[in-house]
Structure 1
Amino acid sequence: MKTNVICSGGLDSVSLAHILARQGALARLTSFDYGQRHRKELDYAQACATRLCVPHHVIDMRAVGAALTGSALTDDIAVPDGHYAEDTMKITVVPNRNAIMLSIAYGISAAQGDDAVATAVHGGDHFIYPDCRPQFTQAFDAMQRAALDGYAQIALHTPFVHRSKADIVRDGARVDTPFAQTWSCYKGGAQHCGRCGTCVERREAFDLAGIPDPTPYEDPTFWKQAIASREAI
């Protein structure tokens, strides 16, 4: 099966790429420049494609991203600190981002003769990202089957949609994913900040998975405070 992986350069999508590469199913990576706060993650996606010897499509969506206003990932709005499950994290939602990206990835896969498009959405995303939930991925899969009926048969592969980020760390470790060569932090500094939602989630995932986290953080202990605060609610 030839699979096109939507790759942000983050831990989840890079792990998925390595898993599929080990299975002999990885055809290409597709990444998106939608005017996000920094391009560091795209560099990590390119490094992943080079490492796995597959084509890397980088789609320029900056004009589209400029119209998707109101998110801390695209506008001059401070990225909040804390756990992903907190209401403050809703400011990191980019409206309809996954639906737009998936549509483009499906078009690329139809043109290139792929069998599947894969995305690393997972159970931890369900709190605040509606386009990461099973209801969305199932409906999107059905919509794309209708959109390509008679032209191409492409499946939507979402192996983590009912699983946790800790599961992704465990699965990624089994195929020797170089976690240090992934980027999660929304702030895009010299190191992972250790305080934004995705940094907290990343550090917690390694802890729950029982696997050493190779990531240097500017604030390496904040994640415990964020989790404790969330559990106290």
Structure 2
Amino acid sequence: MEPKAKPKAVVIYSGGMDSYTVLHLALQQGYKVYAVSFNYGQRHSKELDVAVKVCADLGVSHKLVDITAINQLLQGSSLTSTEIDIPTGEYEEDNMKSTVVPNRNMILLSLAIGYAVSLGSTEVFYGAHSGDHDIYPDCRPEFVDAMNIVSSIANYDDVQIISPFLHQTKLTILEVGLNMGLDYGQTWTCYLGQEKACGKCGSCVERLEAFAKVGLTDPVRYETL
């Protein structure tokens, strides 16, 4: 008797610690993973280099999709415009609002769902967490719920968005990953694409706080540490 084929899952993989954890979670759960990363013109495109390397090391199917042409339509974000400074300090709504890329996750999820349909997969894994809710409208539970409804209407075959950490914190994500033995030195979180992480942007601050709470030193190199 031939072994049963693994179910397929698409994982939106940015190269950051959240999606890195989700990627490994999907693998641990027995899925045949098809990772997909998007270059939408983000200033921190170094995360994509990290994603390519991790998938190559794991032997995971990986597509790096260039959608930079849409950058001209998604203005007003410090993540896509060099004319707007990346905010530093705490990961809070007023401070981080400039990092919102208009409609980004709706666009990326739509593309990932289309990829899943073409593969015959019924799941798309997505790494939003509770710390994103106040800042990014397209990371909120009601958005994910609505996208799942739209996905079921838009396709003959239902594709569901799986968000394992939608109601969890960055700290929980880190704890889950550490329990899985993951090496977070293979991730990139900083909103700047420099040789070392800045240690000052909201994304770095949130990450460093999570490592401090578990009593560990972040393995990523920082300019300020």
What TM-score, normalized to structure 2? 0.93
Cα offsets for 1:136-180 (capped at 9, x unmatched):
0011111101111xx222111001000000110011112222200
In structure 1, the partner of 2:138 is 131
- Select which of 33, 36, 39 maps to 1:33: 39
Paired residues for 1:38-53 under 5 Å: 38-53=44-59
Aligned-residue RMSD, C-alpha? 1.2
What amino acid is aligned across from residue 218 of structure 2 in structure 1? Answer: D
Pairwise CA distance, 1:206? 1.5
Paired residues for 1:109-188 under 5 Å: 109-148=116-155, 151-188=156-193
What amino acid is aligned across from residue 196 of structure 2 in structure 1? Answer: Q
Whole-Å separation in 1 of the counterparts to 2:205 and 2:100 = 17
1:6 and 2:4 aligned: no
Kept in 1: contact 2:40–2:67 (CA 8 A): yes
Partner SS for 2:25 = helix
What TM-score, normalized to structure 1? 0.90
Share of identical aligned residues, percent?
A: 45
Pairwise CA distance, 1:210? 3.9
In structure 2, the partner of 1:58 is 64
In structure 1, the partner of 2:3 is none
**Runs of 4+ displaced beyond 3 Å:** 209-212
**Residue-pair matches, total:** 218
Kept in 2: contact 1:33–1:60 (CA 8 A): yes
Pairwise CA distance, 1:26? 4.0
Bigger mean CA offset, 97-106 vs 57-66: 57-66
Pairwise CA distance, 1:86? 4.4
Unaligned stretches of 5+ residues in structure 2:
1-6
In structure 2, the partner of 1:105 is 112
